[in-house]
Chain A
């Protein structure tokens, strides 16, 4: 019984994820008045990359390939831990939220590791930047998780994400949205479209990857974006107050509007200078911290 369910869920995550970057590009094109690439562009890209051969650096160890694979598995595993509205999670147990955080960290470690394997200075720089952003973003994410767990007195994602976040919901939404932008290397932290090595963050890490490994990395990034959107929507919107069908619709609509939001942010904001990034991430941390404070005070009263 559980096997078909797993397959359906996995297919949903894996197949829907590449839609999000396409949608974001569509929004950007629409704002700029261009036609833009088709929504399914990433699917074509992935298919094309999958057919290409891999170029190996003579310096690289097998970790060059293993890294992206581990990262992809970690992200997909994290996605399976996340409940999907009324459908619940694939696996749910006490403390699964910690596993989720660790899987995301593992994915980042594996990507950075693979980037360092190339032995190129640029990749090293990109990895350093990505990791230093991540330190700050992770602080915010952990604070958000703590505030969620505090107001529901639970450390299991299924119960944590179920009720509404109350008065702190606005703070939490703003904080998590900023974390989403930082974790997924979107504007204003990073510009996915830039091709100037000096200013790239995530893109420069994967500069030397090609063929199927690159496809895996791109797909993993798309899954991660979907994962964060779903997390954000469920942390803020009280889905359990709706009936089953409506809840699914609300979840889908929420994810869609988050995607639209990312697209709009990318259209209207410029990338921040590097030295200003910590300030914004600190702000995200503080937003989550105040959400925590509200949750804590609300719990006392």
Chain B
């Protein structure tokens, strides 16, 4: 069981790097939504015996939210804004890729410092979570397009979700409430779309959001 889980987490970590290296927004969105689907499947793998409807609901909500609804909203936003690629980001693609790889390695090393319960000892959940969170931060900081930043936020959130899987059996409410984060993302994206309708900006370049400063 834990072997399959680890393969999926490894794939999710690979998708982090794909997201860091891709300059085209559709590719970024694709990587992110694929990661969402992978994450959605994981709770089912963690099930030891029988069928738990709570876990199934979390899995279904995750696949639908992260894998279908939000990517589609984002695609609509890219179409509405008519932007295809991330042009000259703050942090180049090669440096961000190297940073992401360094972060992944650091995550593996760091995760050893944190004690785990025996049933979680063999899994890559903690390194995967830390790596995704770092990737999310790199995208949030290093990219200038609003949509890329939203993708970064989503990957950050995916990392938190991965971590939440550690707790899925023991703590009701807490893990499920993480789905509320998706609502935040929804608000982001709807904000972009609404803004496009209002035509307040010519491009979704957050570097233009610099009127407010000291």
- With a cutoff of 8 Å between Cβ atoms, the chain A residues found around residue B108 in the complex are 293, 297
A282 adjacent to B105 (CB under 8 Å): no
- The distance in angstroms between the C-alpha atoms of A64 and B28, with both chains bound, is 48
Give complex CA distance A283, B23 in Å.
14
Decide if A293 touches B21 in the complex (CB within 8 Å): no
For the complex, what is the distance from the CA of A244 to the CA of B46, rounded to whole Å? Answer: 44
The residue in chain A whose Cβ has the minimal distance to the Cβ of B17 is A286
- Nearest-neighbour CB distance to chain A for B155, whole angstroms, equals 17
Across the interface, name the chain A residue whose C-beta is closest to B101: A286
Question: Does B163 interact with chain A (Cβ within 8 Å)?
Answer: no
B residues near A279, Cβ cutoff 8 Å = 21, 93-94, 97
A97 at the interface (CB under 8 A from B): no
Cβ 8 A contact of A289, one of B21, B93, B94, B101: B101
Q: Nearest chain-B residue to A281 (Cβ)?
A: B94
Chain B residues positioned under 8 Å from A283 (CB to CB): 17, 21, 97
Is B98 an interface residue when CB atoms closer than 8 A count as contact? Answer: yes
Closest to B22 in A: A279
Provide the residues of chain B in CB contact with A37, threshold 8 Å.
none
| Cβ contacts under 8 Å, B101 to chain A | 286, 289-290
Chain A contacts of B17 at CB under 8 A? 283, 286
Interface presence of A38 (CB below 8 A): no
How extensive is the interface on chain A, given as a class? under 10
List the A side residues contacting B94 at CB < 8 Å: 278-279, 282
CB distance from B170 to the nearest CB of A (A): 27
Q: How far is the CA of A297 from the CA of B104 in the complex (A)?
A: 13
B98 / chain A contacts, CB cutoff of 8 Å: 282, 286
State which residues 15-31 of B face A: CB under 8 Å. 17, 21
Interchain CA distance A231-B108 in the complex, whole Å: 30
Residues of A within 8 A of B21 (CB): 279, 282-283
Residues of B within 8 A of A297 (CB): 108
Closest CB in chain A relative to B87 CB, distance in Å: 12
Name which of B17, B21, B101 has the most chain A CB atoms within 10 A of its CB: B101
Chain A 170-222 interface residues, beta-carbon cutoff 8 Å to B: none
Report the minimal beta-carbon distance from A275 to chain B, rounded to whole angstroms: 10
In whole Å, how far is B57's beta carbon from the nearest beta carbon of chain A? Answer: 33
CB distance from B177 to the nearest CB of A (A): 34
A277 to chain B, nearest CB (A): 10
Cα distance A283–B108 in the bound complex, in angstroms: 19
B97 / chain A contacts, CB cutoff of 8 Å: 279, 282-283, 286
Q: For the complex, what is the distance from the CA of A297 to the CA of B124, rounded to whole Å?
A: 12
A15 to chain B, nearest CB (A): 41
- B93 near A293 with CB under 8 A, answer no
Cα of A249 to Cα of B100 in the assembled complex, Å: 41
- Which residues 271-301 in A have Cβ within 8 Å of B in the complex? 278-279, 282-283, 286, 289-290, 293, 297
Task: Looking at the assembled complex, report how far the CB atom of B100 sits from the nearest CB atom of chain A, in whole angstroms.
Answer: 9
Task: Determine how close the nearest CB of chain B comes to the CB of A219; give it in whole angstroms.
Answer: 35
Question: Nearest chain B CB to A191's CB is how many angstroms away?
Answer: 22
- Write out, one digit per residue, whether chain B residues 70-104 have a CB within 8 A of any chain A CB (1) or not (0): 00000000000000000000000110011001001
A279 to chain B, nearest CB (A): 5
Question: What's the Cα separation between A290 and B108 when bound, in Å?
Answer: 11
CB distance from B2 to the nearest CB of A (A): 13
Measured between beta carbons, the chain B residues less than 8 angstroms from A286 are 17, 97-98, 101
Alpha-carbon gap, A293 to B104, bound state (A): 10
Of residues 223 through 277 on chain A, the ones whose CB sits less than 8 Å from some CB of chain B are: none
Residues of B close to A293: CB separation below 8 A: 105, 108
Closest chain-A Cβ to B75's Cβ sits at a distance in Å of 24
Per the bound structure, the CA–CA distance linking A16 and B191 in Å amounts to: 63
Bound Cα distance from A289 to B13, whole angstroms: 14
CA distance A286 to B94 in the complex (A): 11
Interface residues of B (CB under 8 A from A): 17, 21, 93-94, 97-98, 101, 104-105, 108
The 8 A-B pairs with the shortest beta carbon distances in the complex, nearest first, are A286-B101, A282-B94, A279-B93, A278-B94, A279-B94, A282-B97, A279-B21, A293-B105
A-B contact pairs, 5 of them (CB 8 A): A279-B94, A282-B94, A286-B97, A286-B101, A290-B104
Other than the given A289-B101, A293-B105, 5 more pairs (CB < 8 A) read: A279-B94, A282-B21, A282-B98, A286-B98, A290-B104
